[in-house]
Amino acid sequence: MKKITTLGELKKSNHKILPVKEEIRRNLIEKLKNREPLFPGIVGYEETVIPQIVNALLAKHDLILLGLRGQAKTRIARSLVSFLDEYSPIVAGSEVNDNPFAPISFFASNLISQLGDETPIEWVHRSERYGEKLATPDVTIADLIGDIDPLKAAHERLHYSHEGAIHFGIVPRTNRGIFTINELPDLQPRIQVGLFNILEERDIQIRGFKVRIPLDELIIFTANPEDYTNRGNIITPLKDRIEAQIMTHYPLDMESAISITEQEAWTQRYGEEGIVIPHYFKEIIEQIAFEARSSDFVDQKSGVSARLPISAMETLVSNAERRAILAGDKIIVPRVTDLAYVISGVTGKVELVFEGEEEGMLKVGKALIGKALKTIFKKYFPDPNARPKKNRRDEIAAPKVNTEYDDILEWFAKGNTISLTDTMSFEKYHSELLRVPRLKEFTSRHILIPEADRFSLSSAMEFVLDGLHQHSKLAKEEEFGTSEINYKDMVGSIFTGGFDEEDEEEL
């Protein structure tokens, strides 16, 4: 079709140009019939958000996506372009993508009246039929809709009321396409009023002149519902004109969250033999976000973006990469010691309430990481704090029962200590962990790791030690000014003054 270059050729081809919402509806139906993926890269919305969007598009509705930050609202809006025809004809040189069969601008109408079937035709790709504007308090009607351009009027010797003197805003320039306004509540109420006609009458008016330009667009809005009272409001008449309101959400399950991070995080790094990220590390990183979304110290109205685990994972891998470079290791495998550096990818992604501000961002961040590790630890290993059942007859506790952790804890009770740093070469790291009796056997029994994969096994062994610390079975001391971490007996550490009970208190 792109070989067609004039209006006459377009007429002879019998090419049909549908209104944009009808075009989207037709292509959507075709995708549904062919069982094609509708929103590639959007994970976790298959049974919740996507069906609502499909219903809105089938109904030819404008829509608003309501959700907290980092819930893929803008990505969804941009992906709607895939429902447009790959190429569509316009009058060549038109600023508003004029339909050759039904021009709306003075320029296109005048050109067709002069040239007739010889009017030149251009073909625009669907990616060029998408417009987007971030709503900010300084956005004006001229930015969105347009204004009279005095220079243009003077240059072409036009009266200011002449349609040819109009400088079009971004909305009419996206005619016959999809236009998105992000963060709608930030738009001043008087500017929101200017959108009434676009949604209801499908036209625009410029400065009260007798100029009415009917537009053909799908309008998408995005907003954070919790921002209404903080930064602005969606005025009721405008909200009433938006036909579909769709709520987004954060990942509802661990595997969906992991899939999103794997898709978005950059983890391909230095290493002759590549990089290995054990699955429990992926779970720990995602659990940090889950913990933050339920923490009393984090502002839940602000939300905890999906960008938190993405940044955290990239930071985790970066620290492991730095160690591999310094130590000359050929393979990159994260360690629990690397989690101390993940905090830089966490603290900037959460907003604290007053109580959280009192505790401090650093302390809250460390607590979130610790709680995440403790939660995931229980998925793989027995609960170190499991208590023996009481005798119902006399309510006397049953005799002490030996646990799988006894050999490990007794070794530390004898005064032994493990010292680790995030820059230790693998051989030193592995050798230090092997000093703990039965630790390797215990770890291998609960996490299935091939015997040959010593890198992953060593990381899992440290995972056990830190899990015992999170359950208050071992003390963990971090040397100030260094990256050294010491695991030692809890009771002995208290009596020697090396254990700060306040630091171990869960936030």
Antiparallel, parallel or unpaired: β 244-247 and 212-214 = unpaired
Rounded Cα distance, 126 and 84, in Å: 6
- Residue 161 in this model has a pLDDT that exceeds 70: no
- Residue 432 in this model has a pLDDT that exceeds 60: yes
Structure confidence at residue 56 (pLDDT)? 97
Domains in the chain (CATH in brackets) are 7-247 (3.40.50.300), 254-380 (1.10.8), 406-504 (no CATH)
Task: Copy the structure tokens of residue 130.
Answer: 């998408």
Provide mean pLDDT across the span 392-396.
51
Antiparallel, parallel or unpaired: β 474-478 and 121-125 = unpaired
pLDDT band at 272 (very low <50, low <70, confident <90, very high): low
Sign, CA dihedral 304-310-313-319, equals negative
Residue 457 gets the label, from left (phi > 0), alpha (psi -120 to 50) or beta, of: alpha
pLDDT top residue among 181 and 201 = 181
Rounded Cα distance, 42 and 492, in Å: 51
Residue with tokens 């209104």: 19
- Residue 507 in this model has a pLDDT that exceeds 60: no
pLDDT band at 227 (very low <50, low <70, confident <90, very high): low
pLDDT top residue among 188 and 479 = 188
Q: Is the Cβ–Cβ distance between 220 and 63 less than 8 Å?
A: yes
Lowest model confidence (mean pLDDT) among 40-44, 106-110, 268-272, 389-393: 389-393
Rounded Cα distance, 197 and 211, in Å: 13
Task: Copy the structure tokens of residue 247.
Answer: 């709520």
Percentage of the residues of the chain whose pLDDT score is greater than 70 = 85
Structure confidence at residue 150 (pLDDT)? 64
Q: How many CB atoms lie within 10 A of CB 249?
A: 13
- Residue 406 in this model has a pLDDT that exceeds 70: yes
Residue with tokens 């019998």: 14
Q: Which letter does DSSP use for residue 390 in this model?
A: B
Rounded Cα distance, 246 and 52, in Å: 7
Q: Single out the residue of 426, 434, 435, 433 nearest to residue 455, CA to CA.
A: 426
- Residue 410 in this model has a pLDDT that exceeds 60: yes
Element containing residue 321 per DSSP (H, E): helix 307-327
Provide mean pLDDT across the span 173-183.
94
Percentage of the residues of the chain whose pLDDT score is greater than 90 = 61
pLDDT tens column, 289-343: 999 999 999 988 888 999 999 999 999 999 999 999 998 888 899 999 999 999 9
Structure confidence at residue 153 (pLDDT)? 62
Provide mean pLDDT across the span 15-44.
95
Q: How many CB atoms lie within 10 A of CB 353?
A: 15
Residue with tokens 């200017």: 194
Provide mean pLDDT across the span 360-379.
94
Q: Which letter does DSSP use for residue 127 in this model?
A: G
- Residue 367 in this model has a pLDDT that exceeds 80: yes
Q: Is the Cβ–Cβ distance between 363 and 507 less than 8 Å?
A: yes
Lowest model confidence (mean pLDDT) among 97-106, 118-127, 474-483: 474-483
Q: DSSP characters for 45-89? A: -TTTHHHHHHHHHHTT--EEEE--TTSSHHHHHHHGGGGS-SEEE
Residue 44 gets the label, from left (phi > 0), alpha (psi -120 to 50) or beta, of: left
Rounded Cα distance, 263 and 256, in Å: 11
Q: Is the Cβ–Cβ distance between 118 and 6 less than 8 Å?
A: yes
Structure confidence at residue 504 (pLDDT)? 43
pTM as predicted: 0.86
Rounded Cα distance, 331 and 453, in Å: 11
Q: Is the Cβ–Cβ distance between 320 and 338 less than 8 Å?
A: yes
Provide mean pLDDT across the span 153-180.
77
Lowest model confidence (mean pLDDT) among 103-112, 127-136, 318-327, 493-502: 493-502
Q: Is the Cβ–Cβ distance between 492 and 413 less than 8 Å?
A: yes
Structure confidence at residue 404 (pLDDT)? 87
Structure confidence at residue 462 (pLDDT)? 96
- Residue 162 in this model has a pLDDT that exceeds 70: no
Task: Copy the structure tokens of residue 201.
Answer: 């009458």
pLDDT band at 154 (very low <50, low <70, confident <90, very high): low
pLDDT band at 390 (very low <50, low <70, confident <90, very high): low
Three-state SS at 181: strand
Q: DSSP characters for 234-247? A: --HHHHHH--EEEE
pLDDT band at 497 (very low <50, low <70, confident <90, very high): low
Rounded Cα distance, 287 and 372, in Å: 5
Three-state SS at 186: helix
- Residue 38 in this model has a pLDDT that exceeds 50: yes
Q: Single out the residue of 328, 335, 338 nearest to residue 273, CA to CA.
A: 328
pLDDT tens column, 69-82: 899 999 999 999 99
Q: DSSP characters for 10-32? A: HHHTT-----HHHHHHHHHHHHH
Sign, CA dihedral 257-259-260-261, equals positive
Structure confidence at residue 402 (pLDDT)? 61
Rounded Cα distance, 60 and 190, in Å: 27
